[in-house]
Chains A and B, each alone.
Chain A
Amino acid sequence: MKTKLTLVTALALSTLGLATTAQAHKAWLQPSQTVFSDKGSWMTVDAAVSNDLFYFNHVPLPLERLQVTAPDGSKVEPQNASTGKLRSVFDLQLQLEGTYKIAMNNEGMFASYKLGGEAKRWRGKASEFATGIPAGATDVEASESLGRVETFATVGKPSTTVFATTGKGIELVPVTHPNDLFAGESATFQLLVDGKPASGLKIEIVPGATRYRNEQSEIHATTGADGKFEVKWAQPGMYWLETASEDKKTTLPQAKQRRLSYVAVFEVLPQ
């Protein structure tokens, strides 16, 4: 049982960290809805990694790293959390007016090495790296990853306190508020890497319900010099957005490469 869970966790985390590769699965947090008019409303969120949007056909996202932030900056405890074979699910009660952020952050290190002629792999935190690789290991190749999976929900008037940035990895800054998206309109967002506007980031946006159409219908965008990009929403629905980049700004000298990724799910309403 324990091994199984660990395997699932590892799979999900690798997806979070290695989202750059084309064959990667998609990680997502899908809210039941994102616009509320009543304080005290309940929402439920599905957390999964899958090939298709938004269907549960691969592995659940483990909930250990879940962080829900209320409009006043306080932490919200998820309720009725459960992880099944294909998805995790949890409920949230939205007691305050304003915008909530539901996020999973993954910060970790990945290493491959050889021990006694056998190829081994290791995953963990940067702080565990020194003790994680056994003495006598050769051909150690390490990389760091920093990934975020987010979604947002608003009671009443949208607020922006939860978009305060940390200056680490890829972060999204709203120009258009993510809970104010309507079909037929355009939205603008800004992407930062380590707190600075990131130009040339390639963004892929895929509308949900892929099971009921034959093509991905993805939207491609690239950030400009100011880190901003614009999306026009053709249809209402849930949308999955992803971007990723790589650099060499690692925290440990043993890691040669840093992989950054950012995923968000947005709800676009009809006019």
Chain B
Amino acid sequence: MKLSSFKVLIPALALPLPAFAADLELNIEIPRINAAEYHRPYVAAWIEKPDNTVASNLAVWYDLDMKNGEGTKWLKDMRQWWRRSGRTLSMPVDGVSGATRPVGSHAVSFKGNSKQLAGLSPGSYTLVVEAAREVGGREMLTIPFEWPAKAQTLSAQGKTELGKVGLVVKP
């Protein structure tokens, strides 16, 4: 028993550290909504630890280009993101902030050595995607996953402000 576990350990130790890393692919669908007044939703995607603290901010899509930073006024409407990390950040955040997206499916991928993922230690996490639309509603989806472990293809289906959200972990 002791001998065999020793044998297993040797190749693991021999590997360089980045071998823990995996790539992550995210697909966020913004559904078509028939509204008299339609605004593109604000969307935040982040990774939470089991205690709900934020391990990494993946993306925040908002009205980035409004004059005088007025687009930040509605960031609080992504309530859980605002509470968990937004209110302590100085927006915009390099590599995280982006402009709002139109109706459709949006693929975003992150390399294991990217700023967003490099700091993740192996373990259980939850992907959280939250969308809030001006004069509209708000929806939040969560997808639990293991990092980096095995290959995983996961998804969650939104009902109102989000369509299908897909998550692919590639070790």
Residues of A within 8 A of B (CB): 35-38, 41, 156-158, 180, 182, 269-271
Given A41, A158, A182, A270, which contacts B73 in the complex, CB threshold below 8 Å? A41
Q: Which residue of B lies closest to A271 (CB)?
A: B80
Looking at chain B's contact residues, is the secondary structure mostly helix, strand, loop, or mixed?
Answer: helix
Q: Which B residues lie within 8 Å of A182 (CB)?
A: 83
In Å, the complex CA distance between A182 and B70 comes to 26
In Å, the complex CA distance between A180 and B76 comes to 12
In Å, the complex CA distance between A146 and B69 comes to 43
Q: Does B88 contact A (CB under 8 A)?
A: yes
Is B80 a contact of A37 with CB atoms below 8 Å?
Answer: no
Q: Which B residues lie within 8 Å of A157 (CB)?
A: 87-88
Is A37 a contact of B79 with CB atoms below 8 Å?
Answer: no
A131 to chain B, nearest CB (A): 51
Q: Does B20 contact A (CB under 8 A)?
A: no
Is B79 a contact of A269 with CB atoms below 8 Å?
Answer: yes
Which of A36, A41, A180 has the largest count of B CB atoms less than 10 A from its CB? A36
Q: Which B residues lie within 8 Å of A269 (CB)?
A: 79
A153 to chain B, nearest CB (A): 11
- On whether A37 and B74 interact (CB within 8 A), knowing A269-B79, A270-B79, A271-B80, the answer reads yes
Q: Does B124 contact A (CB under 8 A)?
A: no
B135 to chain A, nearest CB (A): 16
Q: Which A residues lie within 8 Å of B79 (CB)?
A: 35, 269-270
In Å, the complex CA distance between A270 and B79 comes to 8
Is B88 a contact of A36 with CB atoms below 8 Å?
Answer: no
Q: What is the 8 Å Cβ interface bit string for chain B, positions 19-45, against chain A (1 contact, 0 not)? A: 000000000000000000000000000
Is A37 a contact of B72 with CB atoms below 8 Å?
Answer: yes
Q: Which B residues lie within 8 Å of A158 (CB)?
A: 87
Is A38 a contact of B82 with CB atoms below 8 Å?
Answer: no
A100 to chain B, nearest CB (A): 15
In Å, the complex CA distance between A133 and B27 comes to 77
Is B88 a contact of A37 with CB atoms below 8 Å?
Answer: no
Is B83 a contact of A37 with CB atoms below 8 Å?
Answer: no
In Å, the complex CA distance between A38 and B69 comes to 9
Q: Which residue of B lies closest to A41 (CB)?
A: B73
In Å, the complex CA distance between A134 and B5 comes to 95
The 7 closest A-B pairs by CB, nearest first: A37-B76, A38-B73, A37-B75, A157-B87, A38-B72, A156-B87, A157-B88
B96 to chain A, nearest CB (A): 15
Could you list 5 A-B pairs, sorted by A, with CB under 8 Å?
Answer: A35-B76, A37-B72, A37-B76, A37-B82, A157-B88
In Å, the complex CA distance between A182 and B73 comes to 20
